[in-house]
Copies of this chain bind each other. A is one copy, B any other.
Amino acid sequence: MNVIMDLCIVPIGVGVSLSEYVAACEDILNQPGLKTSLHPNGTSIEGEWDQVMAAVKACHEKVHGMGAPRIHTNIKLGTRTDREQSLEDKVNSVKEKML
C-alpha cells in the first residue's frame, strides 16, 4: 500500500528554534525508496506504507536522542485504491484547474 504523507515534527522543551531537529529528520527521510519535498509547514513524503512509517519512527527516536524530551507530530495520510498518484500529480491536478 502506497501512501502520501504530510509530516510535521515539533520538538517541545528545546526552545523556539526547531530547524536543526527538522533538518536531522530530513536527513533520515532522504533515503532510497522515498520521495520527499520540504515545504514551510512540513515535509511531503511518498512511498510504501511500512517504509514511510519506519522513517517517522526513526525521526522520533533521532529527535529524542538529540535531547528533546517531548515531541508533538502532525501527520496527514492519503491512500487510494482507485489509481496511482504522485506528489507531483497532486499539485498539477490543482494547477490545471486554476483560473
Contacts and interface: CB of A to CB of B under 8 A. Distances in A.
Interface of A: 1, 4-6, 8, 10, 12-13, 15-20, 22-24, 26-27, 37-42, 44, 46, 49-50, 53, 56-57, 60-61, 64, 69-82, 87-88, 90-91, 93-99
Nearest to A16: B13
B6 A41 contact: yes
Contact of A98 (B18, B26, B40, B53): B26
Nearest to A5: B41
B60 A71 contact: no
Contact of A39 (B13, B39, B61): B39
20 contacts: A6-B42, A10-B10, A22-B94, A23-B96, A23-B99, A26-B94, A26-B98, A37-B39, A38-B94, A40-B87, A41-B42, A42-B76, A53-B57, A60-B77, A69-B80, A70-B80, A70-B82, A72-B78, A75-B76, A75-B77
